[in-house]
């Protein structure tokens, strides 16, 4: 691989490995697992490894690396039924509580640090990498001194490679390092029956997923903290077309990432959609309110408008208006966007197969839904 670095002046995302380099890499990766069941408990011992040779590391020397480790995964499901729990107010006709408890222990070692090698397998595509470099060099967006320092300095908390290693992502050969972690999650569903008698269907009334990571070697693996990536994902299907959702995750360390969202969305049988949500991101202290709506003019035409206002920067950071025509086979969207923070206009033109846009159930460009949280496209 031959890596070239842009000269646009913006700070690189991973300063240790985002460097100009020309090298050859030869590697082989393997994973073996042996799953078995003990009653309802599923246990999977596994081992994995990678052997790589780089013709030029970042010091200009040939260097080999052996990385490997082993662990064990286990999961245990539970189910409890409450057929007599009924409520007209909450639209509930019996409750079935499903829980899946999962745990994963993994311990890996490496003969060489990941920081010895350039990133041939990038964690971000070019567009994502450019966006990260741009925001790190914009202290006027969130002028708080702490936030400016976090965005402009090489804080390892927010280095993508550090995130990947702590998350045990092993699909990027250049981002492998020693790690020991215990990951756990609890996935829960409260299911009920809805519909007319004789044609009832089972739905997820409430969904609550919890997860977190524990690092026994906190000083070497997790910046001196035992816990990381404490997350929750909550969904309440109030009705068949009305829902409330909230998500959150934190790194429980000083100046660690803390993200929180909540919102509600409503869709109607004619494909009209509404969404209102709030998002908080710290330590940059971004507090944003997003509203979006899709209005159907006819079976073929619809307009989608959305806006996001950030109360930290006191600016409307994202606005869009898009006209969409839904055909039998294709969905065509045409519109524009405006970002007051960057003071620029954008143009949107998108052609999608109707089946790729949800069979016509949700209209508007998929990129627009993604930029505004993706809730309308759920």
Sign of torsion, CA 53 55 61 62? Answer: positive
pLDDT computed for residue 375 by the predictor: 33
DSSP state of 364: S
Is the pLDDT confidence value at 287 over 50? Answer: yes
Average pLDDT over residues 180-202: 93
Burial class (CB in 10 A: 0-12, 13-18, 19+), 319: middle
Helix 126-136 vs helix 145-152: crossing angle, to nearest 10: 140
Q: CA neighbours within 13 Å on the CB side: how many for 46?
A: 16
H-run or E-run covering 336: strand 330-339
- The per-residue pLDDT for range 47-102, each reduced to its tens digit, is 999 999 999 998 889 999 999 999 999 999 999 999 999 998 899 999 999 999 99
Taking a C-beta distance cutoff of 8 angstroms, is the pair 215, 178 a contact? no
Is the pLDDT confidence value at 19 over 90? Answer: no
- The per-residue pLDDT for range 320-358, each reduced to its tens digit, is 999 999 888 888 999 999 988 777 888 989 898 877 665
Is the pLDDT confidence value at 228 over 50? Answer: yes
Average pLDDT over residues 163-190: 95
SS3 track for 201-252: EEEEEEEEEEEEEECCCHHHHCCCCCEEEEEEEEEEECCCCEEEEEEEEECC
Residue 20 pLDDT class (50, 70, 90 cuts):
confident
* Report field, pTM of the whole predicted structure over 0.75: yes
Residue 34 pLDDT class (50, 70, 90 cuts):
very high
Average pLDDT over residues 107-136: 84
**Integer Cα distance of 81 and 186 in angstroms:** 18
Average pLDDT over residues 166-176: 93
Beta-carbon contacts of residue 124 (< 8 Å; ≥ 6 apart): 13, 132, 160
Higher confidence at residue 25 or residue 10?
Answer: 25
Instruction: Please identify which residue in the block is written with the tokens 């909550």.
Output: 234
pLDDT computed for residue 378 by the predictor: 29
Is the pLDDT confidence value at 368 over 80? Answer: no
Average pLDDT over residues 357-370: 46
Mean pLDDT for all residues in the chain: 85
Instruction: Please identify which residue in the block is written with the tokens 């009334």.
Output: 205
Is the pLDDT confidence value at 149 over 70? Answer: no
Structure tokens at 131: 């966006």
Task: Give the CA distances from residue 174 to residues 17, 116, 181, 300, in Å, rounded to whole numbers and listed in that order.
Answer: 9, 9, 20, 48
Higher confidence at residue 217 or residue 143?
Answer: 217
Q: For residues 288-306, b (16+ Cβ closer than 10 Å) or e, as one string? A: bebebbbebeeeeebbbbb
**Integer Cα distance of 104 and 265 in angstroms:** 34
H-run or E-run covering 49: strand 41-54
Is the pLDDT confidence value at 370 over 50? Answer: no
**Integer Cα distance of 133 and 18 in angstroms:** 12
């Amino acid at each position: 691989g031959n890596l070239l670095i842009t000269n646009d002046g913006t700070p690189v995302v991973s300063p240790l490995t985002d460097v100009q380099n020309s090298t050859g890499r030869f590697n082989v990766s393997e994973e073996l697992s042996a799953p078995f069941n003990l009653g309802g408990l599923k246990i999977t011992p596994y081992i994995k490894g990678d052997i790589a040779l780089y013709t030029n590391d970042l010091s200009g020397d040939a260097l080999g690396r052996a990385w490997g480790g082993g662990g064990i995964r286990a999961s245990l499901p539970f189910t409890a039924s409450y057929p007599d729990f009924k409520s007209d107010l909450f639209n509930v006709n019996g409750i079935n509580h499903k829980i899946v408890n999962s745990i994963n222990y993994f311990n890996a070692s490496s003969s060489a640090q990941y920081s010895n090698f350039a990133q041939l397998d990038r964690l971000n595509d070019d567009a994502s990498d450019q966006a990260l470099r741009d925001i790190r060099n914009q202290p006027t967006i969130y002028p708080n001194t702490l936030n400016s320092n976090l965005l402009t300095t090489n804080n390892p908390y927010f280095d993508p490679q550090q995130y990947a290693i702590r998350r045990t992502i092993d699909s990027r050969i250049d981002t492998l390092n020693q790690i020991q972690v215990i990951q756990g999650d609890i996935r829960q569903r409260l299911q009920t029956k809805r519909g007319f008698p004789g044609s009832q269907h089972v739905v997820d009334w409430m969904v609550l997923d919890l997860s977190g990571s524990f690092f026994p070697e906190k000083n070497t693996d997790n910046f001196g903290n035992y816990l990381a990536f404490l997350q929750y994902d909550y969904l309440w299907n109030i009705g068949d077309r009305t829902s409330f959702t909230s998500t959150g995750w934190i790194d429980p360390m000083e100046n660690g990432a803390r993200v929180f969202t909540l919102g509600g969305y409503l869709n109607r049988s004619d494909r009209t959609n509404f969404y209102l949500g709030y998002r908080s991101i710290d330590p940059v202290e971004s507090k944003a309110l997003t509203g979006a709506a899709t209005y159907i003019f006819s079976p073929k035409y619809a307009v989608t408008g959305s806006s996001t206002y950030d109360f930290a920067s006191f600016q409307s950071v994202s606005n869009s208006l898009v006209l969409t025509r839904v055909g039998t086979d294709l969905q065509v969207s045409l519109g524009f966007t405006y970002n007051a923070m960057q003071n620029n206009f954008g143009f949107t033109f998108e052609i999608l197969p109707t089946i790729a846009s949800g069979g016509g159930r949700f209209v508007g460009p998929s990129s627009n839904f993604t930029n505004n949280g993706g809730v309308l496209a759920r």
